[in-house]
């Protein structure tokens, strides 16, 4: 899917080759962070327990806020901290399952999920830091970064190319051209335009969408636990969107 999206960026590489060749550390780090995020998260979901993986990955807002404070010198007001705590509490309620034990990494899949969350935080902070760069350059580096890390992982594991039908390959390319392009541009644009703590909270809305989608498209029923957690996330997202960075 990411290769399909990356192919679309080849004309951009040719047109803006002078800017591309003036590589800097932050762009290369963005590509690496995006690659690690996607590959580690997907492998973790395949190999591990889904709820544990999701819970460990969605610790990413904590790392995002800490990195934003360290790299970008962003300060949080009391109201921002309160909304952040509410959002994290809501996500924990939605994802918590007492049978899985404490959310502490105990398997390779757990560690991959944690690494994916940290890499995602690095990705968001670097996107904010590179806000002045053209969107086309950042998306190009993100797509090719995922492709590069995927190839390295495949080479390291010595995994053969799967034998699947042409329909599967076509669907993967269509998803790359449509979904991956839209998602990448949306995330990079949104994160670059707002403080990282705000984007970190708003991104937790993904959990609410996932729960509502399962409820609407399948036979799954949203539990009281999911409703409570989702409402807390929505309230936090609304609150954090209304406050300013230095609100007291």
Backbone angles phi, psi at 150, to 5 degrees: -60, -45
**Residues near 63 by Cβ (< 8 Å), separated by ≥ 6?**
117, 118, 121, 122
Distances (CA, A) of 31 to 54, 110, 178, 205, 207: 23, 23, 20, 25, 25
Between 49 and 34, name the one with better pLDDT: 34
Supply the DSSP symbol for 159: P
For residue 61, tell me if it sits in a domain: yes
3-class DSSP assignment, residue 99: helix
Predicted confidence at residue 37, as pLDDT, reads 96
CA distance 206 to 225: 16
- Please state whether the predicted TM-score (pTM) of the whole model is above 0.95: no
Greater confidence (122 vs 87) lies with: 122
Q: Is residue 247 part of a domain?
A: no
According to the model, what pLDDT value does residue 23 have?
67
Looking at residue 151, its pLDDT comes to 93
- Stronger pLDDT, 120 or 81, i.e. the higher one: 120
User: 170: which 2 tokens?
Assistant: 């076509």
Please give the pLDDT value at position 97. 76
CB 119 within 8 A of CB 33: yes
Which pLDDT score, from 0 to 100, does residue 22 have?
67
User: Is there a domain that residue 129 lies in?
Assistant: yes
Q: How confident is the model at residue 246 (pLDDT cuts 50, 70, 90)?
A: very low
In this predicted structure, what is the pLDDT of residue 160? 80
Domains held by the chain: number: 1
Determine contact, residues 107/56, Cβ cutoff 8 Å: no
* CA 82 remoteness from chain centre: 23
What pLDDT sits at residue 248?
A: 40
Secondary structure (3-state) at 101: coil
Sorting pLDDT into bands at 50, 70 and 90, what band is 20? low
Which domain does 101 fall in, by range? 2-242
Tell me whether residue 70 is in a domain: yes
Percent of the chain with pLDDT over 70: 93
d(CA 148, CA 169): 19
pLDDT band with cut points at 50, 70 and 90 for residue 21: low
pLDDT tens by residue, 126-144: 999 998 888 888 999 999 9
Predicted confidence at residue 103, as pLDDT, reads: 62
Mean pLDDT of the chain: 85
What is d(CA 91, CA 73) in angstroms, rounded to the nearest whole number?
26
**What gap in Å lies between CA 226 and CA 207, rounded to an integer?**
9
C-alpha–C-alpha distance, residues 233 and 95, integer Å: 12
pLDDT at 245 over 60: no
pLDDT digits (tens, 9 = 90+) for 96-125: 777 766 667 778 988 999 999 999 999 999
Domain assignment present for residue 248? The answer is no
């Amino acid at each position: 899917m990411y290769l399909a999206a990356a192919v679309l960026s080849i004309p951009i590489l040719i047109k803006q080759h002078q800017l591309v060749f003036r590589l800097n550390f932050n762009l290369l780090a963005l590509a690496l962070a995006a690659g690690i995020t996607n590959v580690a998260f997907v492998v973790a979901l395949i190999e591990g327990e889904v709820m544990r993986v999701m819970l460990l990955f969605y610790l990413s807002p904590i790392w995002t806020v800490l990195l934003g404070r360290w790299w970008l010198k962003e300060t949080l007001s009391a109201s921002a901290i309160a909304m952040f705590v509410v959002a994290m509490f809501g996500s924990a309620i939605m994802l918590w399952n007492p049978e899985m034990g404490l959310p502490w990494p105990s398997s390779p899949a757990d560690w991959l999920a944690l690494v994916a969350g940290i890499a995602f935080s690095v990705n968001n902070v670097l996107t904010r830091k590179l806000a002045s760069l053209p969107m086309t350059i950042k998306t190009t580096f993100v797509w090719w970064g995922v492709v590069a890390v995927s190839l390295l992982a495949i080479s390291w594991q010595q995994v053969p190319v799967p034998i699947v039908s042409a329909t599967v390959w076509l669907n993967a390319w269509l998803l790359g051209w449509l979904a991956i392009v839209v998602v990448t541009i949306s995330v990079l644009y949104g994160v670059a335009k707002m403080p990282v703590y705000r984007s970190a909270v708003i991104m937790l809305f993904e959990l609410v969408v996932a729960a509502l989608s399962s409820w609407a498209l399948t036979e799954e029923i949203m539990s009281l636990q999911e409703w409570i957690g989702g409402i807390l996330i929505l309230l936090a997202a609304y609150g954090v969107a209304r406050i300013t960075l230095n609100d007291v």
